[in-house]
Amino acid sequence: MAKNYVQEGDVLDYTTGTDPVASGLMVTMGKRVGIALGDIPAHSTGSVAVTGVWNVAKVPTEVVAQGDELYWDSGDFRLTKTADAAHELAGYAAAPAGNGDATVRIKINA
């Protein structure tokens, strides 16, 4: 193995700011997202998954088709199909979700 190899990269360290992060919450890291694998207290470092398929909160009134691009709205802590400067591209819908569904299955960072 090469001397400069560090890790597979499916899980990365994430350092919180002034707010704690609950287990399962999506977080942004620059232009990428991760899912907290455990509770991370404020001003602490914890593990976040940066690959995989996850059930994440969405705008309940949106109808999502499999393959739709999804964006993280960090103000409302949920995914949306609305692309704008305030939302980070999080991935695509791995399964459809209907009007009234509280969550959508997302393939993150894809």
- Domains in the chain: boundaries: 11-49, 53-108
Q: For 2-110, where are the E strands, in sequence order?
A: 11-15, 26-29, 32-36, 45-49, 53-57, 69-73, 78-80, 88-93, 103-108
Helix (H, G, I), strand (E, B) or coil at 38: coil
pLDDT above 90 (res 7): no
For 41-96, the pLDDT digits (tens) are 999 999 999 999 999 999 999 999 999 999 999 999 999 999 999 899 999 999 99
For 22-43, the pLDDT digits (tens) are 999 999 999 999 999 999 999 9
pLDDT at residue 1, rounded to an integer:
77
Query: How far is it, in rounded angstroms, from Cα 77 to Cα 9?
Result: 25
Query: How far is it, in rounded angstroms, from Cα 96 to Cα 26?
Result: 19
